[in-house]
Amino acid sequence: MEWKDVAAVDEIPDGEMKRVELVGREIAVAKVGQNLYAFGDRCPHMNGPLHEGKIENGCVVCPLHKARFELATGKRLSDPKIPIPKVLKAGAMMAGIRTHDLETYEVKQESGRVLVNLERRRSPGK
């Protein structure tokens, strides 16, 4: 698979994210300063739409339970914060769901366009 054109660089404001769909995958593209990041748009905890979350200190924060993932690597930096008391069965079940790192993808800009390569995944920590 080759690089896929997903947006104009100007379509993504600094500190914001854009959701795109490529080959049936939901991808979020984030822009921080001149840096672009591409990662799976769904939180690995409870499938929350990460593009609706926030970017803080180089991380994307899930809008549902506030799990934090490093933009550059996809590495999970903090577990979700479950607002349901653990004495409730649902809260205990949700708290036990293991949260994994995000899938990240190579992303670049070329001629004012954002390009993503789904086959060139980056492993957390690289």
- Across the chain, mean pLDDT equals 86
13-32 pLDDT, tens digit per residue, is 999 999 999 989 999 999 99
Extents of the domains making up the chain: 4-119
Is the confidence at residue 4, as pLDDT, over 90?
yes
Distance CA 96, CA 117 (A): 33
Which long-range contacts (C-beta less than 8 Å, at least 24 apart) are formed by 91-100?
94/46, 94/65, 97/45, 97/46, 99/43, 99/44, 99/45, 99/67, 100/44, 100/76
4-119 falls under which CATH superfamily? Rieske [2Fe-2S] iron-sulphur domain (2.102.10.10)
Furthest CA-CA distance within the chain: 55
pLDDT for res 125 = 47
Q: Percent of the chain scored above 70 by pLDDT?
A: 79
